[in-house]
Structure 1
Amino acid sequence: MPSAIRKECMRSCVVCGGELTGRQRRYDSAECRKQQSRADWIHNTYGLTPAEWDTIWRHQEKRCAICKRAPRQGESFHVDHEHHRGPAGPVRGILCPYCKTRLVGRLKSAERAQALADYLLQPPATVALGRTVTAAGRPRRKRARRTSVAVAATVTGKGERDTRETPDQSNP
């Protein structure tokens, strides 16, 4: 009888459904934990569910929306969204790291410029989902408190830096 009770109490991984053993609480492997963490990040930052991300990815034929390159082994592609209204804006598609970070400022060919223009005019995410998903933006981190004494740095005539403490002007 105790074995029947034990089987009913078995827990499973929230990602793959595998059996949890020992001290495992939610995930049966580091890979499952990593997948769930990425899914949570995409949902919290961009408002996309894993199914919506996969729909966009399949619509782009599992390639970068601009350069059409497939991901290399272990490489993760990035969700792109507009930034004109701060961190929040409509999701446009999924890009390789190069196109996401460097291509816009360094267009090297007319074909890539046209591909970028096509991407911006008709974002694959909007076409694939049939609606515009607006990214909430990255959560803000709290800033460290500033000290009450500010350090003023000035440059002397000989190119040397002169640093001295001056009282904070906000607290007279």
Structure 2
Amino acid sequence: MPVSEAQKKWRSDNADLVREYRRNHDKKKRDAHRESPSAYYQRTKERHSAKNRISKLKRVYGITPEQWDALFEGQGHRCAVCGSTEPRTTRGRGWQTDHCHATGKVRGILCFRCNIGLGKFEDDTDRLASAIAYLKLHSR
């Protein structure tokens, strides 16, 4: 909407009023929309975590959330290694998607501890067999 000559003249004659109005209006607007980063995080974390999960499953593992859910359901909602029904972590990381680092193929869903354990053995079945033999030897 174009500004008329009369409006321009009034604004020019009342520059202090216009300046004060704009300053107060802008401050009210800023204050109404201002929130701390932690408040923003709390307000949006559920939406962002869902988006991040979808993105990570697709980007890292090449599967959809539905495929992940079907795999976990096929395991009886348990760790594929130890059979635990709990993710067994104190840091809230939840269930882990186990995959072959050479091929990227998803193998199963593991609890945190089993995933870390397999990772420490770098998918080396000979080292795992040796560790099992060691544990059996020293468990008597």
**TM-score normalized with structure 1 length:** 0.40
Would you tell me which structure has more helix in proportion to its own residues?
Answer: 2
Would you tell me which structure has more strand in proportion to its own residues?
Answer: 1
Greater relative contact order: 1 or 2 (C-alpha under 8 angstroms, separation 6 or more)? Answer: 1
**TM-score normalized with structure 2 length:** 0.49
Whose radius of gyration is greater, 1 or 2?
A: 2
